[in-house]
Homo-oligomer: A and B are copies of this chain.
Amino acid sequence: MTKSNSTRSGYPRTSRSLPISLLRAREVVMQPIRDMLGELGLTEQKWRILRTLDELGEVEQSTIAKEACLLLPSLTRILRGMEADGLISRQSDAKDKRRTLVTITDKGRAIVRDNLHLANDISARIESHMGEDEVKQLLDLLEKLQAAKL
């Protein structure tokens, strides 16, 4: 006895819609992270930028925009605030002066280091619910989806 994947009208159910299902799943995972970020005074976007910079080192802004799913105009504004807060620093690329290179500061890196354990706790809770293998499988499938050109 399985649940039907379409409504009476023949439309696919929203739970079988990738965009909606990805969003709902993300909301579940994000809730505890939002609580953490609220206490840190960081937005989700700033956290993604810190994680991205911590991972990639010095990069230009277009790269951050792509990795952290932000538009360049948004990024300009957000980075201005983060620079004022001492979380990142910027300098123009000597080889191509159009480019601005961004790095995470020690202060920013400390925030990542001090809080990433909480993100790991959340992962552990998910793994205890779904099983470690299935989380791994899910991450693999998400990576594969990201590689798709639509």
Contacts and interface: CB of A to CB of B under 8 A. Distances in A.
Interface of A: 7, 9, 11-33, 48, 51-52, 54-55, 67, 69, 112-113, 116, 119-120, 122-123, 125-126, 129-130, 134-135, 137-139, 141-150
Contact of A19 (B12, B24, B26, B150): B26
Contacts of A125: 148, 150
A26 B26 contact: yes
A33 B19 contact: yes
B126 A145 contact: yes
A142 B7 contact: no
Nearest to A30: B19
Question: Among the interface residues A23, A48, A137, which one has the most CB atoms of the partner chain B within 10 A?
Answer: A23
